[in-house]
A and B are shown apart, each in its own frame.
Chain A
């Protein structure tokens, strides 16, 4: 039965007729019947082909395409095809599809292999360079607007500053203090397990105090704020950029640097040291509680050791980093917002990129500080 074919669902019948073929369709063949129709057409070999559409009420563009493509293919091999009995709506649809049959055009060649890799690498290097330049441009914008607002305090966006202080500072207190408290708990727990081997449990106070005050309190706060606030800055400024609000501000003589960038970054600079201080207190409280439960170091002993053995410089070494982290986070968040294009996709990409870049930059800055303090012997 290899020269006859019938697909009942598709109402397709293929039969040999003399030295040629005859394909009959009936009913309303459509896209869902395509596999059967394509299978039938695939069985046609040499010889003339007759396509009988007399019993067809309606076809859709997919079926018309399949028929016309077959005709085109066969013409290329010098084989004749005839369509029979196509009634008006069917014939008209065949004409419409015939005139719209897409003609392939060569698509621009993309370089492949090692050249493409090199090109990609070069592009990303240039991309990093230009985004660094943009970050320093935004930093300059912030500093310039800050200076201008000092010279002319009446232009200072005080309302916006207070609003952003509440947003980035006050509202971040619960998550920051909970995080720091848990870090204090973990340090006390891990430290006591190690120090007990040497009978030096009481040094757990120094361990907690120095690590939290000097490093962890402010670093982890900055990381939380980077995740929380850098993304919020990018999303807020970016969605304004997307809807041309920033262009509208420029035409109305409102400076985006003054009204958007300055209050946001300045709010972070003011709030991050406060958040760091809160994180320090919460971390010490967590450590104190865990030392009491785990090691039996009473709060009184803990506090005495804390005051006697821990130099106050540790607190300053920690907190002095806060404004720098704040500028880094704020500038990266704002620059990513200003770089958003006109599509929602670019907003999403810039937002997640801003968080990664801000966290990375915070850690790099912290490393630079560590080297600096070590060299200076502080």
Chain B
């Protein structure tokens, strides 16, 4: 089995009296694409935020790339931050900067990089994310939702991170745009050797992209495994999710398409 890059143990998250996670365990392996699914309000995004270090959990530990994040110093966390990238739901681009300047922001932390190289690397990341050259000179407000997501991905990839967190990467995209984004995520993950932690509602994305799936229900990770494993799980929510009309449609679409990858 591949190296474990993220290990979550006994995670507990709570807002006031509302307990979101309790005793949650999860492992992510190097090079895989892990899809996290769960009903609305089960705390998928909260889990992403806890692992990425944006939420301090009430209890439990998160170990990422060998570093226990609860016990780490600020300098260690900053160094870790350069090895991960996060794409937020709507890109979360800085609205006063152009897309290219947005991608350059993380590159500024690299010592000895001159402005020309920085710009060229930002252009490369924008192109890798599937955006045209001219999109780099535009402001986020001038882009469509799909392009903003791609720009957010370009910024997340700026430092060539080992782990990328994607929050609802295909939400709000039309089916064609969503399929293209799925293909982009898969290609980048394979070719750049990325580990991807992906939170989604989109069954098509799960079928098209993910190596492994983690289902969140009842405040913990109910089950992890491949898609085929999910079909055998005897839990009402999991059954409804993967065997419901939409789940069946997504599976049929994959089975009738020529096998890829």
Contacts and interface: CB of A to CB of B under 8 A. Distances in A.
B110 A61 contact: no
A31 B95 contact: no
B125 interface: yes
Contacts of A95: 191
Contacts of B193: 58, 89, 93
Secondary structure type dominating chain B contacts? helix
Contact of A96 (B110, B120, B191): B191
B159 A102 contact: no
Nearest to A66: B117
A326 to B, nearest CB: 34
Contact of B113 (A35, A60, A344): A35
Contacts of B160: 30-31, 60-62
Contacts of A97: 124, 128
A31 B110 contact: yes
Interface stretch (A103-111, A168-176, A273-281): A103-111
A102 B112 contact: no
B208 interface: no
B124 A343 contact: no
Contact of B125 (A32, A58, A61): A61
Interface in A236-285: none
A126 interface: no
Interface residues of B, number: 30
Contact of A104 (B107, B133, B192): B133
Given A31-B160, A105-B134, A100 B124 contact: yes
- Interface SS of A by simple majority: helix
Contact of A61 (B95, B134, B192): B192
B124 A61 contact: yes
Contacts of A30: 160
A69 interface: yes
Q: Of A60, A62, A89, which is in contact with the most chain B CB atoms at under 10 Å from its CB?
A: A62
Interface residues of A, number: 30
B132 interface: yes
B141 interface: yes
Contact of A105 (B120, B125, B133, B191): B133
B114 to A, nearest CB: 8
Contacts, number: 73
Contacts of B117: 34, 38
B124 A34 contact: no
A369 B168 CA distance: 58
A92 B191 contact: yes
Nearest to B128: A100
A96 to B, nearest CB: 4
B137 interface: yes
B192 A93 contact: yes
**Residue picked from B95, B123, B127, B192, most chain A C-beta under 10 Å:** B192
A138 B95 CA distance: 29
B95 A343 contact: yes
B260 interface: no
A107 B124 contact: no
Interface in B105-135: 107, 110-113, 117, 120-121, 123-128, 132-134
A96 B159 CA distance: 17
Contacts of B128: 61, 96-97, 100
A53 to B, nearest CB: 16
B159 A31 contact: yes
A361 B133 CA distance: 45
Contacts of B120: 65, 69
Contacts of A344: 95
A193 interface: no
B187 interface: yes
A309 interface: no
A65 B134 contact: no
Pairs of residues from A and B, 7 with the lowest C-beta to C-beta distance, nearest first: A35-B112, A60-B160, A102-B127, A96-B191, A105-B133, A102-B123, A100-B128
5 contacts: A34-B117, A61-B192, A93-B192, A105-B133, A345-B95
Given A38-B117, A61-B124, 15 more contacts: A31-B110, A31-B159, A34-B113, A35-B112, A65-B120, A89-B193, A92-B191, A93-B191, A93-B192, A96-B187, A96-B188, A100-B124, A102-B126, A105-B133, A342-B141
